[in-house]
Amino acid sequence: MTSPEKNENTNKDWETPAYAGLMFSLQPYKDRLEEKRGYKLNSRPREIDVRIIDKLSDRGDRMEHAIAYIFEKHNLVELKNPYENLNIDVVWKGISYAAQYKSRGVDDTTGEKGVNIVSMRDVTLTFLRISRPDDLFELMEASGYKIEKKFPGVYYISGMADIKMQIIVGRELAGDEFVPLRVQRKNASDDDIKKFMKLVGGLRESDDREMADMIMQISISENQDTYDRLKKEDPDMCRALRDLMKDEIQEEFSNHYQAGANASQEDTVRRMLRKNKPISEILDFTDVSEARIEELAEELGVKVVRDSDVLV
C-alpha cells in the first residue's frame, strides 16, 4: 500500500525546480546555450524534458562546468523525481528518445534535412536526479556497463548504446553554481540554504525570480525544520527574503495599475490569495479589510496564509 507521504512527494512538481536549478547553474554559458523545455520528438505527445543546443559546439572547446562538460550540439535532459524509481528501463526509454531525436531527418537549428543530418556524435543524453539511484548503478555494473565518476555527482555511462550519456546526482554536485540544485535535497546543509537565500536576494529579472520561487518551495518542503531553525537563528536572512517578497508584490501591484487595468482592490486580493501571499502583505498593499479578505478566500476555496504559517 502506498503511503500518503509517498503520494504527496510524487504529486509535487519536481521537474520545474530541477530545470530551474540546472539553468541557474548554466548561467555563465547562457549566451552559447539555447534551451527548450518539453521538446516534442514528433507530432505525437512524446517529449524530452529539456533540449539544450550548444551554439558554439563546433569550436570544440568544453565548458568548465561539471554537467555541461559532456555537451555537444544537441543535448537532451530527462529530469527525474527523487521519489520515483530511476531504473534500467527508464534509461533505455531515454536512449530510445535520443535515437528518435537523431533519426527524425531534420536539424531544426539549421533547417537542414536529410539522412544522418544529425550525427549521433553530436547528441548527448543526461538524466538529472537529486538523489543517488543506487539500485540502478548496481544493476548497470552487474550487466557489464561502465560507470565512470567524471566529477562529484557526475557519472558517465558507457557500454549501453552509441551515445554520450551521463547520470547527474544533484545532492553530490560540488561548487556554488550547483547550490540551486543541492538545496532541493532532503537534509540540505545550512550553508547551501544561506547561499541560496543570498542568491535569491540579488535576483532582479522576473523569470529568474519565478524559477527561484519554485526552487524555494521544494527546498522548504524538504527541509522545513532547517528553515524554521534558521529563521530563529538568523533574522536578517529572513528579513531580506521578506523584503524581496514585498518588492515583488509592490512591483506586481504597480504594473497592474500602470497597465491601465480596471480591476478592483478585491480583484487584487483574489490574485494575491491564489498566489498564497500572507494576509499581512495583502493588508499592506490593499485597503480591503481582514474580514473581507477571509470572505474572498472562502469564496475561492483557498486558505488564508497567516504570518505564523510562513518562514519569513
Query: Which SS3 state, helix, strand or coil, does residue 276 take?
Result: coil
Cα 231 to Cα 189: distance, rounded to the nearest angstrom: 14
Contacts of residue 273, Cβ cutoff 8 Å, sequence gap at least 6 = 282, 293, 296, 297, 300, 302, 304
Query: Which SS3 state, helix, strand or coil, does residue 282 take?
Result: helix
- Top-confidence residue, 46 or 148: 148
- Top-confidence residue, 312 or 155: 155
> Residue 265's pLDDT band (boundaries 50, 70, 90)?
confident
pLDDT value at residue 312: 42
Q: Is 50 exceeded by the pLDDT of residue 44? A: no
Q: Is 70 exceeded by the pLDDT of residue 294? A: yes
> Residue 233's pLDDT band (boundaries 50, 70, 90)?
confident
Q: Are 118 and 74 in contact (CB under 8 A)?
A: yes
C-alpha grid cell, residue 167: 547520470
Q: Is 60 exceeded by the pLDDT of residue 206? A: yes
Cα 130 to Cα 116: distance, rounded to the nearest angstrom: 34
- Top-confidence residue, 155 or 28: 155
pLDDT value at residue 34: 81
Tell whether the torsion through CA atoms of 65, 70, 71 and 77 is positive or negative.
negative
> Residue 239's pLDDT band (boundaries 50, 70, 90)?
low
Cα distances (Å, whole numbers) of residue 261 to 158, 287, 288, 296: 57, 17, 18, 20
Strands in 181-312 per DSSP E: none
pLDDT value at residue 45: 47
φ and ψ at 131, to 5 degrees? -100, 160
H or E element in which residue 278 lies: none
- State mean pLDDT over 217-239: 81
> Taking all residues of the chain, what is their mean pLDDT, rounded to a whole number?
83
**Least confident interval from 157-161, 260-264, 297-301:** 260-264
In the chain, % of residues over pLDDT 90:
42
Cα 283 to Cα 109: distance, rounded to the nearest angstrom: 49
C-alpha grid cell, residue 48: 524530452
Cα 245 to Cα 20: distance, rounded to the nearest angstrom: 19
Cα 264 to Cα 111: distance, rounded to the nearest angstrom: 48
- State mean pLDDT over 110-138: 94
Q: Are 193 and 229 in contact (CB under 8 A)?
A: no
C-alpha grid cell, residue 166: 551521463
Q: Tell me the range of 104-113, 136-145, 192-201, 233-242 where mean pLDDT is highest.
A: 136-145
> Residue 302's pLDDT band (boundaries 50, 70, 90)?
confident
Cα 244 to Cα 201: distance, rounded to the nearest angstrom: 6
Which residues are bridge partners to 107 per DSSP? 112
Q: Tell me the range of 179-188, 200-209, 248-257, 269-278 where mean pLDDT is highest.
A: 179-188
Q: Strand pairing of 33-40 and 123-129?
A: unpaired
Q: Are 218 and 12 in contact (CB under 8 A)?
A: yes
- State mean pLDDT over 6-32: 78
> Residue 135's pLDDT band (boundaries 50, 70, 90)?
very high
- State mean pLDDT over 71-84: 90
Cα distances (Å, whole numbers) of residue 35 to 11, 21, 48, 76: 25, 14, 12, 10
Q: Are 185 and 131 in contact (CB under 8 A)?
A: yes
- State mean pLDDT over 111-124: 94
Cα 73 to Cα 111: distance, rounded to the nearest angstrom: 14
- State mean pLDDT over 234-250: 59
**Segments making up each domain of the chain, as ranges:** 4-179, 189-309
pLDDT value at residue 246: 56
pLDDT value at residue 232: 79
